Amino acid sequence: MSLRFHEIAEGGHRILNPFTHDKLALLGEVARLRPGTHLLDLCCGKAEMLCQWSLGHGIKGVGVDISDVFLDAARARAEELGVADRVRLEKGDAGAYRAQAGAFDVVSCLGATWIGGGLEGTVKLMLPALKDDGILLVGEPYWSSEPPVGAYESLGFGPDDFTSLAGTFDRFEAAGVEVLEMVLADQDSWDRYMASQWWTLSDWLRDNPEDPDAGGVRDFLERSRRSHVEYGRRYLGWGVFVARRR
């Protein structure tokens, strides 16, 4: 899916992953944040995590994303919550971003491990910016049960893109890190992320019938509805895994 389709579909979202605000708050507690914690968030989207944790835990951080649309929303959110002085937002390719070595207590990448060619590559990409005693937060899909062959095409994933929950732990181990904790999405989290996009997309199509991308957006909406109710809710899990160097 093109970046523009993401920007349209998630126009009404603050969290650009299948996490509710309650799950995001729980993750902040699980991560043992404290005032002054320095966080680097790769593919930060609208930076709701950075902004909420800066407000609630007193952290500071840097968010990197390629989308001007998402970054504009992130800057507005930081101003709204009064944390703009503690949150810096940068436009760029998160996969090519080079932070100062060992500068961050936490490095996160939620739902975008494609930046490193998969989970293992993304973990290795994240580690140089992390302090020796720091933690990684990695958001990653997994198969909650073995999907039928049709699920791959419908959901747009290859058979090797993701694995089972246990297999996901194996991939972390292969990347040289230990999983300490996890917060998993549930079906309601997925519904709130996916189903709420359908209304947004439908409204956009009504308002923009002559847009050159209208046909593509319509196709995406139809695929999104069908793939979620037929396969996604049953077979696809998602979680954020807390890890550190072994």
202-216 per-position pLDDT tens digit: 999 999 999 999 999
Average pLDDT, the chain: 97
Q: pLDDT band for position 222 (50/70/90)?
A: very high
Q: pLDDT band for position 2 (50/70/90)?
A: confident
Burial (Cβ within 10 Å: 0-12, 13-18, ≥19) of residue 166: exposed
Give mean pLDDT, residues 15-22.
96
Q: What is the pTM of this model?
A: 0.96
31-88 per-position pLDDT tens digit: 999 999 999 999 999 999 999 999 999 999 999 999 999 999 999 999 999 999 999 9
154-167 per-position pLDDT tens digit: 999 999 999 999 99
Give residue for tokens 């760029």: 92
Asked if 42 and 112 touch (Cβ cutoff 8 Å), the reply is: yes
Give mean pLDDT, residues 99-120.
97
pLDDT cut 90: percent of the chain above it: 99
Would you say residue 92 has pLDDT above 80? yes
Q: pLDDT band for position 91 (50/70/90)?
A: very high
Would you say residue 1 has pLDDT above 80? no
C-alpha distance across the termini of the chain, in Å = 36
Crossing angle between the packed helical segments 68-81 and 48-57, to the nearest 10 degrees: 20
Task: Write a three-state SS string for 7-73.
Answer: HHHCCCCCCCCCCCHHHHHHHHHHCCCCCCCEEEEECCCCCHHHHHHHHHHCCEEEEEECCHHHHHH
